Each structure stands twice: as C-alpha cells, then as structure tokens.
Amino acid sequence: MNDSQIEKEIKEKGLTAPRITPEHLEGVIVSEQYHVFAGTTFTACLLTLKNGYTVLGESACASPENFNAELGRKIARENAKNKIWSLEGYLLREKLSQN
C-alpha cells in the first residue's frame, strides 16, 4: 500500500485529528542530493529539511547486473523519506502535548 492509498483510506474513515500527511512530509523537504559510490551499487540520498536537518537514505543491489541508477535513487529517497515520518510525528506529538 502506498502513501496515496493510505491517505485515501484515512480520509474515507473520517480520521480528522491532527496528523502528518504525505503533502506535509514533502513540504518539509527543501533539497535532495544523490551519490553512487564508485565501483558499487550503493546509492545514497541526502534530504535537507526546512530547518537544515539532513536525513540519509540508501539503496544497493546484490547483483551489479541489476543496478539501475534511477531506481536506486527512487529507493534511496523513499528510505530517507520514511525516516522523516518518525521525526515529524514526534514533533507533532510534542506540540499536541503542550496544548
């Protein structure tokens, strides 16, 4: 299930309490950088957030014959983005606890 399918189900169920949305998550990302280490299938994605914090995601394939740079970037970015969910969730929970 991808982010848009989950978001659709949340809306259909009428779950309207404060939460982190995929749009919010994308909105906190201000830049992205990619690097493939020479002689490897290892791709790194560094996402920079609005506040300057950086999050690293990575991907690699076991068989060099399966390496595809575009796919490696997509997987590495998704892995980095998944880390942001926890960070933003923590920030929201902190804000809610102060009300």
- DSSP sequence for 56-99: EEEE--SSGGG--HHHHHHHHHHHHHHHHHHHHHHHHHHHHHT-
Neighbours of 33 (CB within 10 A): 11
Model pTM above 0.95? no
Q: How many CA atoms lie within 13 A of 99 on its CB side?
A: 6
The CATH code for residues 22-97 is 3.30.160
Tell which residue, 45, 46, 87, has the closest CA to residue 69. 45
What is the residue-averaged pLDDT of the chain? Answer: 95
pLDDT tens digit sequence for 16-51: 889 999 999 999 999 999 999 999 999 999 999 999
What is the residue whose two structure tokens read 């399966």? 66
